Amino acid sequence: MTAEIISDITSSLVLDDVLASVARRTAEVLDLWECDIYDYRAGEQCTVALALWAREPHAADGDWVGSTHTLVEQPSFARALGECRMIENRIDDPALPDVERRRMEFWNEQSCLLVPLVFKDEAIGCLELVEKRHARHFGTEERELAVTMAALAAVAIQNARLYGDVEHLAITDGLTGLYNHRYFYDRLAQEVARAQRYDLPLSLLMIDIDDFKAYNDRSGHRAGDALLRQLGVVLRSQMRRQIDLVARYGGEEFAVILPSTGVAGAARAGQRLRDAVNKGGLAGGDSDAAHAVGERIRSSVAGQTFGTTERPPVITVSVGVASLPEHATTADALVDQADAALYRAKRFGKNRVEVERVGTGAVAGPDAG
C-alpha cells in the first residue's frame, strides 16, 4: 500500500470524489475488472449503489448509481453486512446458491468478493470486488489488502459525510431549515456574477410576514416560530427545485433568488397564476416573470391555514421584486431595491406584490459580503 494511494483516498471531503477515488484505487491495486460501492441502510434492510468503476464503462452505469436493492434479493450481501465479514462467490463453485448464480450470470461475473465497510464496529456499506475475465480465487494477501482498502474507505466516507453535515448546518437557518443570511449573500454574489457574465436575467424577491409582531404578541413566540417554519415549507413548495434559492433573511423576512428570471410580462402572468391558485391549483411559472412568482407566493400564503385554533388567524405576506439589470448592477443594490419595493408594498396596504421602479437602483453600490 503506497502513501500515494492513501493520500488520494483521504485527500477530499467531498463524498462523490471520495467514492470515485475509492472505487478506482481499489480496482487498480487489486487488478479487478470492476469495483462497486454500496451504502447499507440497516433500518430499511437494503443497499443503495453509490459508485462504480469499471475497466470498460457501460452507458447504463449512471442509471445504476442510486439504485436500491433489498437484502432479500442479495443473501450474500445480507451475510457480509450482518456478520461484518467477507463473502466470496465464484461462478465455478457448485455450492453457490441459485439466486447468487443467476445474479452473477446476469452481470457476467466470474468472481466477486464482498467486503463490508466497517466504522466503529458497525457496517456502513460494502465494497463489491468483481472479476469478469476469469474465475478468480482471492488469496490471503489479496484479502488482507481488500480489508485495508475497505477500512480506509470507511473512514474517508464517514469523514466526508460528517463534513457534509457540518457544512449543511453552517449554511442553514436552525429554525426554518432554509438557507441562512450568510449563505444567501454568498450565492447572490455568485448569481449576479454569472448573470452579468452570460447576459442573463436575475431577480430577487424580499418577503415579509404582515403584522408579525401583533401575531407574536397575540399567540406567543412559540406560535410565531411555528409560523416561520410553516412559511418556510410554503416557500420551498413554490420554487423550482435545484434552481431557485430560498433563505431566511432575518426575523420574519425571507429572500428568494430567481436565476434566469426577468421582470417583463409580469402582470399578466401573475394574474393567471393567482387565478390558478385561487381555484386550488398551482400553475407553472413564467420564466420571464419575477412578479408572477411573487404573486404566486403571496396568493399561496393567503390561502393557507396557519395555527391550530378553531378560528385560525389570517396570515398574509408582502413581496418586493427587483431584477438585474433593470433595477441594479450589484448584489447589494439588488437587495436594496427589492427591499424598497417591499416597503412600498407595506405602505400601499400589505398583502401585495410590488416591483421596483425601473432605473431607481441602477447606481452601483458596494458588493455584498
Are 11 and 25 contained in the same domain?
A: yes
List, in sequence order, every residue forming a beta bridge with 54; answer none if it has no partner. 34
Nearest partner of 277 among 304, 307, 317, judged by Cα: 304
Q: Are residues 339 and 205 in the same domain?
A: yes
C-alpha 188/C-alpha 16 separation (Å) is 25
**329 close to 189: Cβ distance less than 8 angstroms:** no
SS3 content of the chain, % helix, strand, coil (to 5): 45, 20, 35
In a domain, 275, yes or no: yes
Q: Quick one: cell of 220? A: 406567543
Provide the residue range defining the domain that includes 347. Answer: 172-355
Whether residues 149 and 207 fall in one domain: no
Buried b (16+ CB within 10 A) or exposed e, 105-137: eeeebbbbbbbbbbbeeebbbbbbbbbbeeebe
d(CA 359, CA 329): 11
CA-to-CA distance for 209 and 302, rounded, in angstroms? 11
Q: Count of alpha carbons within 13 Å of 203, Cβ hemisphere only?
A: 26
Q: How many domains does the chain have?
A: 2
Domain end marker among 169, 187, 205: 169
Pair 266, 235 in one domain? yes
Residue with cell 487489486: 30
Q: What is the pLDDT of residue 3?
A: 64
CATH number at residue 147: 3.30.450.40
Residues 153 and 200 in one domain: no
Q: Facing residues of 113 across strands?
A: 88, 129
Residues 131 and 73 occupy one common structural domain? yes
Decide if 124 is inside a domain: yes
Q: Tell me 179's DSSP state.
A: B
Is residue 366 in a domain? Answer: no
Is residue 241 located within the same domain as residue 333?
Answer: yes
Residues involved in catalysis: 252
Q: Which three cell numbers stand for residue 84?
A: 461484518
Q: Supply the pLDDT for residue 117.
A: 94
Examine the domain organization and report whether 130 and 229 are in the same domain.
Answer: no
Domain boundary residue, one of 147, 169, 191? 169
Are 245 and 347 in a shared domain?
A: yes
User: In the prediction, which pLDDT does 89 show?
Assistant: 96
Q: Say if 149 falls within a structural domain.
A: yes
Q: Are residues 147 and 260 in the same domain?
A: no
Question: Do 238 and 273 belong to one domain?
Answer: yes
CATH number at residue 284: 3.30.70.270
Rg (C-alpha) for the chain, rounded Å, is 27
In a domain, 39, yes or no: yes
Q: For residue 31, count CB atoms less than 10 angstroms from its CB and return exposed for 0-12, middle for 13-18, buried for 19 or more.
A: exposed
Give the pLDDT score at 288: 39
At 302 the pLDDT is 60
User: Among residues 169, 199, 227, which one ends one of the domains?
Assistant: 169
pLDDT tens digits, the chain, 369 residues: what are they? 556 666 766 666 677 888 888 899 899 999 999 999 999 999 999 999 999 999 998 877 878 888 999 998 889 999 999 999 999 999 999 999 899 999 899 999 999 999 999 988 899 999 999 999 999 999 999 999 999 888 888 888 888 788 878 888 889 998 999 999 999 999 999 999 999 998 888 889 899 988 888 888 888 888 889 889 888 888 887 777 778 899 999 999 999 998 887 765 333 333 333 333 233 332 333 333 466 666 666 666 665 555 555 444 567 888 888 888 888 899 999 999 999 999 998 998 888 888 887 654 433 333 333
What does the DSSP 8-state code read for residue 112? E
CA angle 331, 335, 341 (to 5 degrees): 145
Helices (H), the chain: 3-10, 15-29, 61-64, 75-83, 98-106, 140-171, 181-198, 212-219, 221-237, 266-278, 290-302, 331-347
363 in any annotated domain: no
Residue with cell 391549483: 281
Residues in the chain: 369
